[in-house]
Structure 1
């Protein structure tokens, strides 16, 4: 996890949301309707090049993918919608990796802008990105990147992520078994301007949801189950820190996988919500249950100092009205280096120090 750089029932529930639609019979069609802007739909059939359609498209166009298998490594640098036909539209490695041209080799779909010139309004929906060496869907220097009803599975690092980006929306996706990093990631931005992470499922990852060096992120009604850590809020020492993030009404349970030390990250496992530093965050009305481990960071909701070199305290955070039960070694842990964190009206039994429940 590069802090310093940029069950069967669950399957049915998530994939049921990836609803196929009627296929089109022509390669490119004019869209009219109520919008009347002349945007086109480019239909790409299995085995044909998504990148060719992206290159041919004008800003505002839609790339429509039918059921079947396609080569990934698709680079997007203009406002487009890429829409599949549900979970049976699958991008996997093969052919030319166009993301390598922007130093993001091993990525299914990379949406890449430039500092001060973000790619705006890209939407990716109703498809699967699977078995890429690095990332499923990766955004950098984007604004209003939307990823919905996407299954990101068995990728080597991140499932669905945005770096240096604002106003993103990750909704109703599933991140499954994505190697060394996080199922969902928001980071490396002083102000994410309300990036939304909602209605997702994340399981089998190192971290279910990672918010690192970012402010103003909102995460609610996610299922973060069966990872090494459910949610991690991380101040890695960069200017501005991490904070002003609201995490509420999530199920953060049974995150009991074990992850070995990785680069500068210590071993992780058995943690529901983990703070490495961070300030003015709100953790409210979550269910944080049965996260159990024997590591220093294990437990239900656990506050530690930020990472080296600054090791800034976790401060001015509010942990409110959470159900925190059955976690080990403790439901609540405050090893934050600060006395400004508030634990209020949580339903829990054990804490370190005593008296937080």
Structure 2
């Protein structure tokens, strides 16, 4: 405690002169002087990196201290190599690009909280670092005009780092927001991800969860590849439509996982599933996408109680057999409910004609939804028994969908405003007519 108090007083006396790089305070000597277990509170000002933390410390900038790393010889602004380090409330400016990171962690049980990171390279890297806590940080890339996403680093990048808790972070304008590779039992929760390539990118992980995140204006909201036993739930991925390969959720080689209660809206493809099996897709809201859901080479999945609303193409499926589809709502499907139980007595089959046709010759996309294309599609019945089919489609939208109220409320309010405008327009026309008479 005495050391921390003296440190606050000493650093504060020099902070008035720390307005430029040349007058900034070197941070490494302060760290070197601390004892294991000390808490360091930095006074307002600018501090010079890079720094190496090789003992258990708590370092807080209280949001008023900035660490600047402009050294051409140092790739990392902060290197953490001791278990139990806590770094919080610090602003970090990482001027080195490429594979350089603002923070690199090579230790367990490290906490990174309330940081504001501007970087030319990566934001936070974890390498063989287990049980990390990364909470409420803002990570953003410096954007040279015209630079592409391939030249940017990832916001939070984990490799072979297990059991981490990544939540409530805001990441924008980098390559991938949160990248997980060979990192088991990781929780990614309540993060906000904007203007990225992939909002969340999972590769070769299992036992992890991606929940309650918001992703907008990315190429793909969540790219989930080569995983098993993963939960993707409660996420909102909207407006991924700027790229020909844009999807809300992309599932490739995914096994025994749960994709439930997500909202995918306004994307080029809402949910794209390829070479995946034995998964459950349930209670997802798929609305206003160009293609609602697209299956390719995916078998043995359970697909139930999802809602498809106002998509241009509701579903496409090729080489996808034995998927159990039941009780989904398809707003363009004209079913028949003789018994009145709310379930259509007619099945809904996903016709692969259009998808196969444009795959062979992309020029046929010009005839999408033309009368001739619709007529040919209705005539196409080859291998119909092999088509992906919802055996019991719902006649009405099921109330279990979490965002039904929001959708209905939004549409209702627009309708009310429209009727009011029409009413006032009619009154105005009649009133002006009476005046002319």
- CA 1:248–1:55 in structure 2 vs 1: closer, same or farther (change >3 Å)? same
User: Contact between 2:25 and 2:46, CA under 8 Å: does it hold in 1?
Assistant: no
Taking the aligned partners of 1:186 and 1:42, their CA distance within structure 2 comes to: 37
Corresponding position: 1:352 with 2:294: yes
- CA 1:326–1:64 in structure 2 vs 1: closer, same or farther (change >3 Å)? same
Q: Gapped runs of 5+ residues in structure 2?
A: 19-23, 143-150, 296-314, 317-324, 329-437
* Residue 250 of structure 2: aligned partner: 302
The Cα of 1:199 is off from its aligned counterpart by: 1.1
* Residue 290 of structure 1: aligned partner: 239
* Residue 23 of structure 1: aligned partner: none
Over the aligned positions, Cα root-mean-square deviation in angstroms equals 2.4
* Residue 379 of structure 2: aligned partner: none
* Residue 2 of structure 2: aligned partner: 29
The Cα of 1:345 is off from its aligned counterpart by: 1.1
Higher relative contact order (CA 8 A, sep 6+): 1
Taking the aligned partners of 1:188 and 1:180, their CA distance within structure 2 comes to: 21
Taking the aligned partners of 2:193 and 2:54, their CA distance within structure 1 comes to: 31
The Cα of 1:93 is off from its aligned counterpart by: 2.1
Q: How many residues align?
A: 274
* Residue 140 of structure 2: aligned partner: 176
- CA 1:30–1:229 in structure 2 vs 1: closer, same or farther (change >3 Å)? same
User: Contact between 2:4 and 2:40, CA under 8 Å: does it hold in 1?
Assistant: no
Taking the aligned partners of 1:72 and 1:317, their CA distance within structure 2 comes to: 43
User: Contact between 1:42 and 1:53, CA under 8 Å: does it hold in 2?
Assistant: no
Taking the aligned partners of 1:122 and 1:55, their CA distance within structure 2 comes to: 14
* Residue 321 of structure 1: aligned partner: 261
User: Contact between 1:182 and 1:207, CA under 8 Å: does it hold in 2?
Assistant: yes
Taking the aligned partners of 1:196 and 1:53, their CA distance within structure 2 comes to: 29
- CA 1:129–1:286 in structure 2 vs 1: closer, same or farther (change >3 Å)? same
Taking the aligned partners of 2:276 and 2:188, their CA distance within structure 1 comes to: 25
* Residue 272 of structure 2: aligned partner: 333
* Residue 25 of structure 2: aligned partner: 48
Corresponding position: 1:196 with 2:159: no
Corresponding position: 1:247 with 2:247: no
Corresponding position: 1:279 with 2:228: yes
Taking the aligned partners of 1:271 and 1:302, their CA distance within structure 2 comes to: 7
Corresponding position: 1:231 with 2:200: yes
- Secondary structure of the equivalent of 2:29? helix
Q: Deviations over 1:204-257 (max 9, x none)?
A: 11011111110011111111112121100012xxxxxx12111111111221xx
The Cα of 1:135 is off from its aligned counterpart by: 0.9
* Residue 94 of structure 2: aligned partner: 131
Taking the aligned partners of 1:127 and 1:334, their CA distance within structure 2 comes to: 41
Corresponding position: 1:151 with 2:124: no
* Residue 165 of structure 1: aligned partner: 129
Higher-Rg structure is: 2
Query: TM-score w.r.t. structure 1 length?
Result: 0.71
Taking the aligned partners of 1:187 and 1:343, their CA distance within structure 2 comes to: 28
Taking the aligned partners of 1:230 and 1:94, their CA distance within structure 2 comes to: 28
- CA 1:295–1:214 in structure 2 vs 1: closer, same or farther (change >3 Å)? farther
Query: When you count helix as a share of all residues, which structure comes out higher?
Result: 2
The equivalences for 1:67-146 within 5 A come to 67-86=44-63, 88-94=64-70, 105-112=74-81, 119-133=82-96, 134-140=100-106, 142-146=107-111
Taking the aligned partners of 1:332 and 1:319, their CA distance within structure 2 comes to: 10
Q: Deviations over 1:303-342 (max 9, x none)?
A: 12xxxxxxxx3212211000111111x100001x232222
- Secondary structure of the equivalent of 2:37? coil
* Residue 183 of structure 2: aligned partner: 214
User: Contact between 2:176 and 2:200, CA under 8 Å: does it hold in 1?
Assistant: yes
- CA 1:342–1:42 in structure 2 vs 1: closer, same or farther (change >3 Å)? farther
